[in-house]
Structure 1
């Protein structure tokens, strides 16, 4: 099996690589461009929630659906796309994602109502979820083609680019709003889609046929019932989180029943949507998914909640609020660049957890008259976990996942990222329901502090992290098996 897959992957890259022993660096640009589509649309909306709410005369709890709509679509789409990338290769999926992104940009730029905007964000979520699993697939397939581990700088560049664009997003959003209004933040996706189409058609390899992709055709069949049950589980849970009332408790029951049915289906299906038997036997990978969920919940709750508080609670305009968040970007880029080439995982995650706890404690003393230097200090500290957590968890997945399922595993990592973002969005809608004032910020901070403590605890007890740093060569099947134990 391993020989067949290796022979198959070689021709995919022959025309792109001048040396069979070197990573094909022509792939780096399309990888990064595709992977940043989702982070930029995740963060750029942060400073636009207030002006969009004013334009359509709706509350923060209503505009929170702009955040949740994208993340729900992404959480659902990532595992599907990851499986399809593993089966068919990245090119067709990458191009299709770019087309969806462009359609969402056009729809959002001319949306006449909030609900049309939400629909545009949902389409955007499906379109932008392709880039990351495609990039992880290409990194792993290049390592298999060359027989050498892909350069550490490639993984670092992928993580740093996503982090950079995520934290620059609010400042970019503020600039776009100043120049062309909040609709310009949707229109920018038209340009991004064109860029992705160019790179996708020109540089990305495509698998020649489904038969060559796998010796077992059933591996490539789509499990539509499993996808449906997975979707029902997430949608029912999201609707409850967005409006947690006693009368809505039936949604929790529906989500639980769908989850049970989903688990039974996947365990008894010959070609499951998510092979729970494989993922269930890989405990370190599952822990990484949960740890990423916790870290991203705090990160996104801060990004959206604090951005709104800067405008409503602190009285800053949208441009100033966006620019004030730039130190988060600089710190995130700095710590990622400094630590990116190190394979050590545990200390990065512990440092990220400690930084989250520290900035949460500082937020509890904030008020409407808090000095700018204190705001900047907290924003800078928040950049530490932004730069460390996603990079460390990404690298952990690279070594913990089965090589044949790297696309699906990378997709699931992003799914748990956006499940965290969904929970963060629901928390913002709950605690900042009427206005993003200081009292609401403090309640949101207590929520973030509890999640950060759980993130720290899970990192400390996970002994498997200590074995990742000792891998010094290409991640062979034997080495990956050792990391999983």
Structure 2
């Protein structure tokens, strides 16, 4: 009987997608969103514990964004070169290390260091998952089930929703250090299932560490750090930061177009306009979504005079809508249709924001949240599916990592825009100015979906 079951299991794995991989894929891919969302409720108690103002505790958020934006394509490239298993396990170990460091941190700067390690540790999950999906498709000779990509999207969106609530429960039970301690059991689970279920395979592109384009990575890192530091706090006095970012970018493109094994194959990217369009759409979608998340929430509390709990309840339908839309449409292979519908709803939501006033009815605020949830469910999934088909197979890991990098660019740009337009006392006028900014991004996203016939 046991041998029969084993034979049937082997047969399923030979004929179709090995669904045993779903658990390690989903478990590792949620490490980043859970640490991105759980910190929202930890900032105040951490500031109280260390006597740190909000301007200093904000680095706990920025540190993770910076490390992840840089680490995603770097770790993705390592996965392309050496396979997913070693990077998956290393990432899980770093996540556990960051959890321990956060539990014993004696000062705020140690916590910031822990968040940097978390950023790099949680980088492997998404590019490793995309790599495994691609290799399963090649092994079976069939397109991987659309539901697999949908499962990743739904899992990440669900975790982002419950993250703040989970953080509040952990703080209630064990204080703010418990929000770092949660990474220990998660890391152990990833290590165990990754060790057992992700097979040892020969390196896809074997070679010494010299194969890795370290100068290219250094230039890419310099470009991102200077650009992101400026976006976090844009001021005329910081003009040198975007100048340095542009200079590093120019040198990066010049160098990467001349080396045999570049970190960023700019020649390949330059010839893959559909993939560049997907990155741009993802950036614009994240700008609109995070402007709503940061800016609209801020206006609800300061302009509409809602409590933090009340603002959270207004936003809850947005997250639930995004999860439901992803779950319902996930098995559909349509990409362009999802992008068109999602982009239209983005435009509609920003137009609605332009009509709001300080005394607007609560139900209309809920409608705005629902309208924003639809494109968050459709566009995120569609862009992920588009990347899967557009990226070169030998660079699926680094291509998936770059998609996440563009997401974080959008998040940081949205945070900067929200801070610029919604200054203290700006009121409904500030929200309207932010809505115009969002409307421009939404219209550009819709235009890209309309003109991109490759979809």
TM-score (norm: length of structure 1) = 0.84
Q: Is 2:294 aligned against 1:300?
A: no
* Alignment equivalent of 1:344, drawn from 299, 324, 334: 334
Structure 2: distance between partners of 1:313 and 1:178: 29
Instruction: Using the TM superposition, name which of 429-438 and 78-87 deviates more.
Output: 429-438
State the partner residue of 1:470.
none
Structure 1: distance between partners of 2:45 and 2:304: 16
* Alignment equivalent of 2:189, drawn from 185, 195, 210: 195
Cα 1:307–1:67, aligned 2, differ >3 Å: closer, same or farther? Answer: farther
* Alignment equivalent of 1:408, drawn from 393, 398, 414: 398
State the partner residue of 1:73.
67
* Alignment equivalent of 1:260, drawn from 247, 250, 254: 250
Structure 2: distance between partners of 1:57 and 1:373: 39
Structure 2: distance between partners of 1:360 and 1:56: 39
User: What pairs with 1:279-298 in structure 2 (closer than 5 Å)?
Assistant: 279-298=269-288
Would the aligned equivalents of 1:351 and 1:385 in 2 still touch at CA under 8 Å? yes
Cα 1:177–1:62, aligned 2, differ >3 Å: closer, same or farther? Answer: same
Would the aligned equivalents of 1:60 and 1:435 in 2 still touch at CA under 8 Å? no
- Name stretches of at least 5 consecutive residues in structure 2 with no aligned partner: 1-7
Would the aligned equivalents of 1:167 and 1:325 in 2 still touch at CA under 8 Å? no
Cα 1:297–1:174, aligned 2, differ >3 Å: closer, same or farther? Answer: farther
Instruction: Using the TM superposition, name which of 330-339 and 393-402 deviates more.
Output: 330-339
State the partner residue of 2:118.
124
Q: Is 2:93 aligned against 1:103?
A: no
* Alignment equivalent of 2:453, drawn from 463, 469, 472: 463
Matched positions, count: 448
- Name stretches of at least 5 consecutive residues in structure 1 with no aligned partner: 1-13, 466-485
Structure 2: distance between partners of 1:183 and 1:363: 38
Would the aligned equivalents of 1:49 and 1:308 in 2 still touch at CA under 8 Å? no
User: What pairs with 1:211-226 in structure 2 (closer than 5 Å)?
Assistant: 213-214=204-205, 217=207, 221-226=211-216
Alpha-carbon displacement from aligned partner over 1:159-208 (angstroms, at most 9, x marks no partner)? 22122222333443444445555443333222222221121112112224
Cα 1:341–1:181, aligned 2, differ >3 Å: closer, same or farther? Answer: same
State the partner residue of 2:79.
85
Q: CA deviation at 1:273?
A: 0.8
3-state secondary structure, aligned to 1:268: coil
Q: Is 2:224 aligned against 1:234?
A: yes
Structure 2: distance between partners of 1:334 and 1:196: 27
3-state secondary structure, aligned to 2:196: helix
Instruction: Using the TM superposition, name which of 29-38 and 55-64 deviates more.
Output: 55-64
Q: CA deviation at 1:455?
A: 1.5
Would the aligned equivalents of 1:30 and 1:196 in 2 still touch at CA under 8 Å? yes
* Alignment equivalent of 1:33, drawn from 27, 44, 50: 27
User: What pairs with 1:242-253 in structure 2 (closer than 5 Å)?
Assistant: 242-253=232-243
Instruction: Using the TM superposition, name which of 138-147 and 167-176 deviates more.
Output: 167-176
Cα 1:16–1:452, aligned 2, differ >3 Å: closer, same or farther? Answer: farther
Structure 2: distance between partners of 1:152 and 1:354: 23
Instruction: Using the TM superposition, name which of 321-330 and 340-349 deviates more.
Output: 321-330
Would the aligned equivalents of 1:61 and 1:430 in 2 still touch at CA under 8 Å? no
Structure 1: distance between partners of 2:308 and 2:102: 20
Q: CA deviation at 1:52?
A: 5.2
* Alignment equivalent of 1:24, drawn from 18, 28, 33: 18
- Root-mean-square deviation over aligned CA pairs: 2.8
Structure 2: distance between partners of 1:103 and 1:296: 30
Q: Is 2:152 aligned against 1:158?
A: yes
User: What pairs with 1:272-283 in structure 2 (closer than 5 Å)?
Assistant: 272-283=262-273
State the partner residue of 1:468.
none
Q: CA deviation at 1:435?
A: 8.4
Structure 2: distance between partners of 1:179 and 1:366: 40
Would the aligned equivalents of 2:232 and 2:412 in 1 still touch at CA under 8 Å? no
Q: CA deviation at 1:124?
A: 1.4
Would the aligned equivalents of 1:47 and 1:174 in 2 still touch at CA under 8 Å? yes
Q: CA deviation at 1:335?
A: 1.1
Would the aligned equivalents of 1:359 and 1:381 in 2 still touch at CA under 8 Å? yes
Q: CA deviation at 1:443?
A: 4.1
Cα 1:226–1:117, aligned 2, differ >3 Å: closer, same or farther? Answer: same
Q: CA deviation at 1:66?
A: 3.0
Would the aligned equivalents of 1:47 and 1:307 in 2 still touch at CA under 8 Å? no
Structure 2: distance between partners of 1:97 and 1:223: 20
Would the aligned equivalents of 2:339 and 2:382 in 1 still touch at CA under 8 Å? yes
3-state secondary structure, aligned to 2:239: helix
